Amino acid sequence: MTSVFVLDRHRQPLDPCHPARARELLRDGRAAVWRRFPFTIIVHDRRRGESVVHEHRVKIDPSSQTTGLALVAGARVRWAAELTHRGQRIKAALRSRHAIRRGRRQRWTRYRQPRFLNRKRPVGWLPPALGSRVANIMTWVERLSRLCPITALSQELVRFDMQWMQNAAIRGVEYQHGELAGYEVREYLLEKWHRTCAYCGANDVPLEVEHIMPKVRGGSTASAI
């Protein structure tokens, strides 16, 4: 069950309490609603030094579309939520803007040259969809730190073993003798596809490294040439 966040009369965070305890404090007039979401109450007769405050940890499970947030005290989960990101909507909006600007330049209107030389990326720049995801997580961590005594943060780091997905029996030194052992990526793809285009079968032409199925169409990272 999700606990209720509690602030003292100086707006300092106390330990979250059970919803039944929060209802009792509100009924007795000892507390008032401070925020609806996440639900937080402020007590009028309690200061942080008068209460025992325990250490809490924020745990983050990030992904491209949703991120799981959990507030843990010891082995007990006090609060949990799932944060939905706007990455796909941001990507669609940027594509729409690109199409509109490109069409505007091609119409019979006042010509405006594309402005590329004045575009500079600041230090720490992230793609808009990824930047939005990071900003959303940081915003919620800062918000929780104002509502609960948080002393630590944990984030799940996931590494996918692509060779193990293709060959479940691979072990130890066999990772160093995989499919690309002794090859550069481009030379490997040229031999794999017999120096012909994977799309049309043309040969004796300059070839570029490309995906078998474009990512925008749901393809994987498998490469062709």
Percent of residues, the chain, with pLDDT higher than 70 = 83
How far is it, in rounded angstroms, from Cα 43 to Cα 21? 12
Distances (CA, A) of 122 to 126, 129, 131: 9, 16, 13
Q: For 117, which DSSP code?
A: T
- Domain ranges within the chain, ordered by starting residue: 4-86+129-155, 164-224
Q: Give the separation between CA 101 and CA 111, rounded to whole angstroms.
A: 12
Tokens (6 digits) for 209: 């490294």
Among positive and negative, which fits the CA dihedral 160, 164, 168, 173? negative
pLDDT at 197 over 70: yes
pLDDT in tens, 134-193: 999 999 999 999 999 999 999 988 766 677 777 788 877 777 666 666 666 777 778 778
pTM, full prediction: 0.66
